[in-house]
Every structure is written in C-alpha cells, then in structure tokens.
C-alpha cells in the first residue's frame, strides 16, 4: 500500500513539473465587477504575441442593483476568432445560484452572482504585413517551407519586396476588450481590456498572468 502511495506521489510530481515547463499557449486572468455604472476591472489582461493559442479567464461579481441578461463579445481590430466558455463547478452542490449561458449571453444575472468566463483563441492566422485575420481561401505564398496567407495583392507584394521585415512578426498585436453589454439597454456593464504585446514589451510591462 505504501509503495502504491509513493508511486502515485512521484507521478503527480512529474506531471506537475512537466505542466510547469510546457506552455500550450499564453494565458491571463482578470477580475471585474459588473454594475449599472459600467463596471470596472482591476487591471488589463496582458497576452504575449507570437503564440497560436490563448486563454483568458475573467472572474466577476454582480454588484447591486444590477440584474438582467448580458451579451459578451470580444471587440477589437482586426477581428479575431474566439470561443466563449462558461465555467461550471466540477460538483454542483446547489449552494449558489448560477446564471444560464447560451449563444454568448448570460441570462438571469442577479446581485451577488459570481461567474467565471473563458475566452479561447486559437487556430487562426494573420496577414504578416497588416495583421488582418486570414486563412485558407485567401492569397497564399510559400516562404522558407511555411505557407503564409495575405488579405490582398498589396500586402503580398510588400512581403515579397522585404520578406525579412515581416517574417516572424508577432501576431496578433494591439488592444482588445472583452465587453459585457446589458441586452435591454445595450449599455456596457463591464469591459476587460486585453492587450497583445511583443515578448519584450510584455516582460517590460510586468504582464499579469
């Protein structure tokens, strides 16, 4: 019995170490307050450009007297493909009421509700010149064994002229926001800034993860 416990402990340690070393992408966490006055968040979420997958989690509390339904969307330019996931407890003991989430809308928020919402970004590519979201069906060009996609002839021509200037450019990059809008009034009840930065910029700014 003792040997089995030791083996289990060693395996757990090895898995934890492997998880600490291997990063599947970049991730961040933000804490916010949903309110009729537009809400507020502690700090922006900083994400390091150059990864092909991202995860951002926002935990928020609903302040009184707000109650209603809230639409959630990722805003920014160029638009990014994303997926929203509402975090559920592994075991729901029914001790706390939970809003219902469907089609990117949180239904039935009440004062005091607490929620956790994931934003997942991945499997997207960007034009290396302008940063616009592109993919199969757009103009393509093979460079150093890698297929690159472009939004139009202009960006492709710029890349062909100076490929070393654009190849490996960090994407996405810029400022976005995870926005929560009341479905009745269309007014924001919370906005969480998401900032994509280059690796050197993210380290210098003390990015929150």
| Residue-by-residue pLDDT tens, the chain, 209 positions | 566 555 555 454 444 444 444 444 678 999 999 999 999 998 889 888 767 678 999 999 999 999 999 999 999 887 777 889 998 765 556 667 788 999 999 999 999 999 999 998 865 567 888 877 776 678 888 887 777 888 889 999 998 998 887 765 545 667 899 999 999 999 999 999 999 876 545 444 444 44
Tell me which long-range contacts 195-201 makes (C-beta under 8 A, separation of at least 24): 195/44, 195/45, 195/46, 195/47, 196/47, 196/48, 196/49, 196/170, 196/172, 197/46, 197/47, 197/48, 197/49, 197/173, 198/48, 198/49, 198/50, 198/170, 198/173, 199/48, 199/49, 199/50, 199/170
* CA distances in angstroms from 129 to 41, 76, 144, 164, 205, listed in the order given: 33, 18, 17, 11, 25
Query: Whole-angstrom Cα distance, residue 196 to residue 154?
Result: 25
Give me the pLDDT at residue 168, please: 55
Structure tokens at 168: 């490996």
Using alpha carbons, select from 28, 53, 51, 31 the residue that is nearest to residue 41. 31
Other CB atoms within 10 A of residue 191 CB: 16
Give me the pLDDT at residue 17, please: 43
Give me the pLDDT at residue 167, please: 65
- Write down the domain spans for the chain: 24-122+180-205, 129-166
| DSSP assigned state of 141 | E
Give me the pLDDT at residue 207, please: 47
């Amino acid at each position: 019995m003792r040997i089995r416990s030791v083996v289990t402990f060693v395996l757990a340690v090895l898995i934890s170490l492997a998880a600490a070393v291997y990063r599947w992408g970049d991730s961040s966490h933000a804490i916010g307050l949903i309110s009729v006055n537009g809400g507020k968040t502690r700090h922006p979420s900083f994400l390091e450009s150059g990864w092909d997958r991202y995860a951002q989690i926002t935990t928020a509390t609903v302040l009184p007297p707000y109650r209603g339904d809230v639409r959630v969307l990722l805003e920014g330019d160029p638009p990014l493909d994303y997926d929203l996931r509402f975090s559920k407890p592994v075991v729901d003991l029914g001790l706390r009421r939970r809003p219902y989430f469907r089609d990117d809308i949180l239904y039935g928020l009440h004062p005091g509700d607490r929620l956790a919402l994931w934003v997942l970004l991945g499997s997207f590519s960007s034009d290396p010149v302008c940063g616009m979201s592109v993919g199969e069906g757009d103009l393509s060009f093979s460079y150093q064994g890698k297929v690159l996609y472009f939004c139009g002839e202009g960006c492709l021509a710029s890349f062909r002229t100076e490929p070393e200037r654009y190849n490996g450019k960090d994407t996405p990059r810029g400022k976005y926001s995870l926005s929560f809008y009341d479905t009745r009034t269309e007014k924001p009840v919370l906005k969480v800034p998401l900032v994509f930065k280059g690796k050197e910029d993210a380290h210098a700014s003390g990015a929150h993860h």
